[in-house]
Amino acid sequence: MAGTSADTHRKLEKALDQIRPGLLRDGGNVELLAVAADGTVQIELQGACASCPAQSATVRFALEPALRLAVPEVSCVVPVPGDPTPPGR
């Protein structure tokens, strides 16, 4: 990816900030972990999202499209195992 720069991270975080309120309402959260040169974005789903049966749908239909819209060079979004402890505890 042309930029794993601070600007790229800022754009991705801004996109996640648009989705985060819905995740927080359901007891979950998402954290941006890494952006690889090939456009792979690693995220950690936290709280209720870490063990939610709809996790793959959330990534595929909410997170990935938002991140690709913010940074078109994103090739895929890969969730890594997260902490199931609810945010703020």
pLDDT in tens, 55-70: 999 999 999 999 999 9
| pLDDT class of 24 with cuts at 50, 70, 90 | very high
What is the model's pTM?
0.85
- Residue spans of the domains in the chain: they are 6-80
CA torsion through residues 53, 62, 18, 13, sign: positive
Largest CA distance in the chain: 37
CATH of domain 6-80: 3.30.300.130
